[in-house]
């Protein structure tokens, strides 16, 4: 999620009109957004790991889970 996307969401929820790019409030919103992203990635990865009954499907699910988690490392 880009900083501009976070700012747009802050404006949409009425958090503030247009936070400054270096304001303490924006830093809090950015941190919160990153935590939400991390939580959602982990939830999606867990769903992938629980997918399938066969070993082949579990291996595919585990691969997807790794890829999802890797998105948070970039």
Q: What pLDDT, in 10s, does the model give residues 38-49? A: 999 999 999 998
What sign for the dihedral angle of Cα 34, 39, 45, 48?
Answer: negative
Which of residues 52 and 2 earns the better pLDDT score? 2
Q: Does the pLDDT at position 74 exceed 70?
A: no
Q: Does the pLDDT at position 7 exceed 90?
A: no
Mean pLDDT of the chain: 87
Angstrom distance (rounded) from CA 41 to CA 68:
6
């Amino acid at each position: 999620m880009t900083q501009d996307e976070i700012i747009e969401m802050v404006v949409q929820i009425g958090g503030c009109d247009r936070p400054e790019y270096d304001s303490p409030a924006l830093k809090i919103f950015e941190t919160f957004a990153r935590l939400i992203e991390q939580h959602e990635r982990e939830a999606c990865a867990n769903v992938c790991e629980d997918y399938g009954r066969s070993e082949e499907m579990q291996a595919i699910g585990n691969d997807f889970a790794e890829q999802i988690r890797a998105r948070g490392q970039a």
